Structure 1
Amino acid sequence: MSEQQGRGTATTLAPMVEVEDVWRSFGSGPTAVHALRGVSFAVGRGELTALRGRSGSGKTTLLNLVGGLDAPTSGRITLDGADLAALDEAGRLALRRDRIGFVFQSFGLIPILSAAENVGVPMRLRKVPAEQRDERVAALLNLVGLAEHTQQRPTEMSGGQQQRVAIARALANEPALIIADEPTGQLDSETGRSVMELLREVVRSEGVTVLVATHDPQLMELADRVVELRDGHIVE
């Protein structure tokens, strides 16, 4: 159901994500659009899995379902042992806050906040004590290579630096899973590769699982596995 690339050792571990016969349709009857058609795959713990496919293949729809931002029309998704269909809205919100970190193509930083303040936002929402929060922020900005840029605002940073801040923010609450949707889409090839290499390092240093959507073949070589979507189907 997927292409194995290089490492692949994490596939022997208990899955962090299990997607079973998932369909997602929009509308009904003959005009219905079937974005996903019976998708099944798993992501092992501590694994960096790349989800590839052309625009319109269903990548973003699938990421939204795994992240609990949307619900499938049918099928089952389990994340870190939790059946998403069994959670109410409050439960899904808690899962996204505590167990999932999101990285977006557009960075999603708050313009008026410094790099350090942006990284600290998720911990503020969890009411983490200030001293503990400041220590975690400093450690994460150091991890992503921005220890000297803590007080800069997004408008004072390059695209690559902004995406590194976004990755640090995604790690703030020590998530089990990071979901990244085309995180290099607005970056040049060299900067994009450095961001993917950072995600690769995050898997090793933080023990986090990463599911990243990309259409850039140069970036897929850094993944443990590549899963291809085409017209809503997993390609064998």
Structure 2
Amino acid sequence: MSEQRSAENTATAVAGGRPPMVRVEDVHRSYGTGAAAVHALRGVSLEIPHGELVALKGRSGSGKTTLLNLVGGLDTPDRGRITIDGTDLAGLGETGLLELRRDRIGFVFQGFGLLPILTAAENVGVPLRLRKADPREREERVALLLALVGLADHAAQRPGELSGGQQQRVAIARALANEPALLIADEPTGQLDAETGLAVMELLRAVVRSEGVTALVATHDAQLLGLADRVLELGDGTLTEH
């Protein structure tokens, strides 16, 4: 079924003349110089159509986070080209990249990244405040997102009053606040037990379907890989598809 969905998504994108949501072409990224240099990525290429959930697996240090940071515009490649919905990241400059990350990409991290002094609702509303959204629009969007992730009754609680799984759900709701086209998640279940992690991954799967979001999720959990449309594996800086 996953292969069928992937093929259908690709065919739809091609038929409509729409570029893929993510295109990575022959990307290289190294850290350090000389004999001590670490070659995190060696000629990585991939395409992700709109509306697809792609899981990225690989051992610790395989380059998963490096690839996510490059796709999200948080880092730049040494060589190669990355486009998001047809936009070449190399041509954006700092201001353009900032706007892209603010308006088009949502990030979910292993450590949740919530502000402890804010309530769940206030945390979700942070991106909307930064965008100077109308207060009524902001409140409606926050309420909708908390309901989407099953936390409508926890809006007034602070992160310290929530379980790890609930905090990650708040983080997912916050990542969706500005209605991004692309969701990037780096080991989103890494700090959760197996049952809670599976529930969070199922939520991501549901969000991709209901919100029409494209998602690239790095995970080492074999149980979670089955929820993806495709699985890509990084090893020694190169990419293979399963």
Return the alpha-carbon distance in structure 2 between the equivalents of residues 136 and 177 of structure 1. 18
Higher helix residue share = 2
Is it true that 1:53 corresponds to 2:58 in the alignment?
A: yes
Aligned to 1:215: 220
Aligned to 1:224: 229
Q: Which runs of 5+ in 2 are unaligned?
A: 14-18
Relative contact order (alpha carbons < 8 A, sep ≥ 6): 1 or 2 greater? Answer: 1
Q: CA 1:162/1:180 → structure 2, altered by over 3 Å: closer, same or farther?
A: same
Deviation at 1:92, TM superposition (A): 0.3
Aligned to 1:67: 72
Aligned to 1:149: 154
Deviation at 1:6, TM superposition (A): 6.3
Is it true that 1:114 corresponds to 2:119 in the alignment?
A: yes
1:186 to 179, 186, 191: 191
Cα deviation code 1:168-202 (max 9, x no counterpart): 00000000100000000000011000001000010
1:192-211 superposed matches below 5 A: 192-211=197-216
Is it true that 1:44 corresponds to 2:43 in the alignment?
A: no
Contact 1:99 1:177 in 2 (8 A): yes
Q: CA 1:5/1:191 → structure 2, altered by over 3 Å: closer, same or farther?
A: farther
Return the alpha-carbon distance in structure 2 between the equivalents of residues 6 and 77 of structure 1. 26
RMSD: 1.1
Count of paired positions? 233
Is it true that 1:32 corresponds to 2:37 in the alignment?
A: yes
2:86 to 81, 94, 97: 81
Deviation at 1:5, TM superposition (A): 5.0
Aligned to 1:233: 238
Cα deviation code 1:61-95 (max 9, x no counterpart): 00000000000000000012210011110110000
Aligned to 1:177: 182
Aligned to 1:133: 138
Return the alpha-carbon distance in structure 2 between the equivalents of residues 190 and 128 of structure 1. 36
Q: Which runs of 5+ in 1 are unaligned?
A: none
Amino acid across the alignment from 2:33 = S
Return the alpha-carbon distance in structure 1 between the equivalents of residues 30 and 189 of structure 2. 28
Percent identity over the alignment is: 73
Return the alpha-carbon distance in structure 2 between the equivalents of residues 81 and 165 of structure 1. 30
Return the alpha-carbon distance in structure 1 between the equivalents of residues 136 and 176 of structure 2. 17
Q: CA 1:40/1:213 → structure 2, altered by over 3 Å: closer, same or farther?
A: same
Q: Please state whether the residue corresponding to 1:71 is helix, strand or coil.
A: coil
Return the alpha-carbon distance in structure 1 between the equivalents of residues 52 and 131 of structure 2. 27
